Chain A
Amino acid sequence: MTQRRKWTAIPGLVVLAAGAVILSAYSGASSSQHRSPVQPINFPHPVHVQKLGMNCLYCHFSANKSPDPGLPAVSTCIGCHNLVGPQRPATDLGPARTSAELQKLYKFADVAGMGAGMGPKAKPIPWVRIHKVPEYVHFPHMRHVNAGVTCQTCHGQIQNMDRVYQFSSLNMGWCVSCHVNGYSAKEGLEAAGYTAQQQATPAAAGAVAPADVQSGERKKARYDCANCHY
């Protein structure tokens, strides 16, 4: 009867194989989630957003009016950093020091020194792209931003990321599940890191209309293919 036992193994193997297939299918294998490349300049989002309280739209200026969120021009950086140079005095942001990152910025923008402005040899900063959907996907930022989807919902709490990484999988299933199940402003605020109390604050209101938060209604979106693929 040993032979018989030998062949009972087969169904087991089959089941294992099937399991493996299903597993690999569900794990968005092609996603570059959690990817966190080194940037030419280590731009500290926390300092600008958390400490200085800058709005995302200051640099990503077209996120609420264009499919393209907008990438700050070098002149935008220099606009402030003309006055805020590499030599940092002691402030509430920290003790006096020399900022290597700002020196890099000055090098790119060909700034001689504080207040000198951009020089003729200025070069654009070759930022490494992190969040990218394939070209056959059309993702209109403004539709989402204006629907009260906070940036953090998809990009994670950038305001706390010393080095930005890809927060979401950006898989189709990830998109679809939100379009199908809908999205409530409350979730958006939570994703953005607003605590229950903060959600009433004007800052929160800046992100989404308080009314939406109260109603807690789930906004749903079309999820047929041609909504994004054309």
Chain B
Amino acid sequence: MATTAAPSRTVERPNIPSAAVRFPAIKDYEQVDREIAGTLRPTLGWFAALGIAILCMLIGATTWTYQIHEGLGAAGYQPPVMWGVYIITFVFWVGIGHAGTLISAILYLFRAGFRTSIYRVSEAMTVFAVMTAGLFPILHLGRPWKFFFLIPYPNWRLIWPNPKSPLVWDVFAILTYLTISSTFLYIGLIPDIAILRDREKNPVRKAILATLSLGWRNSDREWRHFTRAYLFLAAFATPLVLSVHSVVSFDFAMALTPGWHATIFPPYFVAGAIFSGIGMVFTIAIPLRKAFKLEHYITLNDLDAASKLCLFTSMVVGLAYLTEFQVAWMSGNRFEQDYFWNRVFGQWAWAAWIMLICNMVLPLSLFSQKLRRNPTWLFILSLFINLGMWFERFVIVVPSLSHEFEPWQWGSYKPTWVDYGILLGSFGWFFMWFLLFIKQLPAMAMSEIKEVIPPRMKHPDPQLEHELDVGYPHPSETGEYGTA
């Protein structure tokens, strides 16, 4: 970890690119404070966006209330399709929630420099995505008011949840993930909150920030503790990236339904989750860097690097798709084969092809560096990825159930306005929290950026001088992560 000691070109540092390369346009700490803290000022556009988000959230809430009163029949379930939009959206949001931890924890451990500028956004995204996902298991219950039956607590019925049921595992997985990722987010925020506290004039806000900053005084000792804690949490959160979505995939893999009962599901789901997460990061970060004029923080290099990750996961997911077909083909299992045929060429072809094109084909465009460095294309692509990943879950849930063992009970599925209302509501809920977040707390980790920026020095290093003057790496600097 970098320290605040005066940097020297000769000091061996972790593979974190020099500020000159990472943030050529950023001169000093003051600029960072100024620009990033500046993003916290509410704007008209922000109010408009927040208004829309809250409206959507309210639509969802009303719809849910209606559904609770009327019964799940108000939604579009058509037995044997007993799970629908809600479970699909649940998996969708849990997936979104994965990029955050991946970027903030795993990339942190790997010292991937491009993480610095986007990890705060993606962590916040993670927390809110998991908060959204967490609603759906309750929301899709026939008797949501009895959800506490799923929670293991001593009760006068002398009866406990069923430890064998993947749904119970879910409860634990989601709660753990929510706890860890929100802690991670909070710990990372502490130094920044301290900065805001010091800049804050309004006494009330100052008091709140003071409490939240846990009395951070930027001392050397605190930094040492901080970095250790952060490292520990990162190590702690890393396995969760794999475990949580594996557990979610068990909801399907543990059933004997054709199309679900597959050992490939855990890795397949994890890859899909990261893929969808990065998609959502693009969807959020690209407009953000524009709106907040932070192009020189979230640089094209960062986007380029993230795109490579996106491309990689997309190919992993694509491999999983193909493997599924191959498994069905070679298993010689008639039920499995019928199902996959029906998935791709039958009743559900349209959904399956949306999935394949959005998740397998379009991301291949990222082989081109031009497109990787083109924010507009990345944004459009990310929308397709979000759509494709939602449909991936649709293709997993609905076609399997509609085409099971018993031909007499084969069916179809058509959501009603209730399903769509609640789907919309979930987006409203997510963005409401996110928008509130970015105006209360910095969407970018000031302290970490500062770690990369060299402070003003009494005896400037000529090479560094040169960099700062021309604002571009010295010829001797080679490669993207140019360190001496």
- Residue ranges of A at the interface with B (Cβ–Cβ < 8 Å): 3, 7, 21-22, 25-28, 31, 169, 171-174, 176-177
Contacts and interface: CB of A to CB of B under 8 A. Distances in A.
B159 interface: yes
Contact of A28 (B153, B156, B214): B156
Interface in B145-175: 153-159
B215 A26 contact: no
A7 B214 CA distance: 9
B157 A3 contact: no
7 contacts: A3-B215, A25-B156, A26-B155, A171-B156, A172-B156, A172-B157, A173-B157
Nearest to B158: A173
A174 B155 CA distance: 12
A25 B154 contact: yes
Contacts of A169: 156
Contacts of B156: 25-28, 31, 169, 171-174
Contact of B157 (A7, A22, A27, A171): A171
A21 B153 CA distance: 8
Contacts of A31: 156
Nearest to A180: B158
A153 B156 CA distance: 19
A227 B154 CA distance: 23
Contact of B153 (A25, A171, A174): A25
A72 B479 CA distance: 97
A22 B159 CA distance: 14
Contacts of A171: 156-157
A107 B328 CA distance: 80
B154 A177 contact: no
Nearest to B211: A6
Given A21-B153, A25-B153, A176 B215 contact: no
B389 to A, nearest CB: 37
B179 to A, nearest CB: 12
Interface of B: 153-159, 214-215
Contacts of B214: 3, 7
Nearest to B153: A25
Contacts of A25: 153-156
Given A25-B153, A26-B154, A172-B157, 14 more contacts: A3-B214, A22-B154, A26-B155, A26-B156, A28-B156, A31-B156, A169-B156, A171-B156, A172-B156, A172-B158, A173-B155, A173-B156, A173-B157, A176-B157
Contacts of B157: 171-173, 176
A154 B158 CA distance: 19
B153 A22 contact: yes
Q: Please provide the 4 A-B residue pairs with the shortest distance between their CB atoms, ordered closest to farther.
A: A3-B215, A173-B156, A173-B158, A28-B156
A7 B212 CA distance: 11
A127 to B, nearest CB: 28
Nearest to A169: B156
A172 B159 contact: yes
A179 to B, nearest CB: 10
Nearest to A22: B154
B212 to A, nearest CB: 12
A176 B153 CA distance: 17
B146 to A, nearest CB: 13
A116 to B, nearest CB: 51
Contacts of B215: 3
Contacts of B159: 172
A21 B148 CA distance: 12
Nearest to A28: B156
A7 B213 CA distance: 12
Contacts of A173: 155-158
A164 B448 CA distance: 73
A176 B154 contact: no
A171 B155 CA distance: 11
Given A3-B214, A3-B215, A7-B214, A177 B153 contact: no
Contacts of A3: 214-215
A26 B158 CA distance: 9
Nearest to A176: B158
Contacts of A176: 157-158
A177 B159 CA distance: 12
Contacts of A22: 153-154
A227 B201 CA distance: 68
Residue of B158, B159, B215 with most chain A CB atoms under a 10 A cut-off: B158
Contacts of A27: 156
A173 B153 CA distance: 14
A173 B156 CA distance: 5
A204 B59 CA distance: 67
A213 B215 CA distance: 72
A55 to B, nearest CB: 34
A198 B157 CA distance: 36
A207 B154 CA distance: 37
B186 to A, nearest CB: 13
B210 to A, nearest CB: 10
A181 B449 CA distance: 66
A171 B156 CA distance: 7
Contacts of A26: 154-156
Contacts of A172: 156-159
Residue of B153, B154, B156, B158 with most chain A CB atoms under a 10 A cut-off: B156
A25 B154 CA distance: 6
A25 B155 CA distance: 5
A114 B229 CA distance: 90
A136 B214 CA distance: 53
A171 B215 CA distance: 50
Contacts of A7: 214
A20 to B, nearest CB: 11
A31 B157 CA distance: 12
A124 to B, nearest CB: 35
Contacts of B155: 25-26, 173
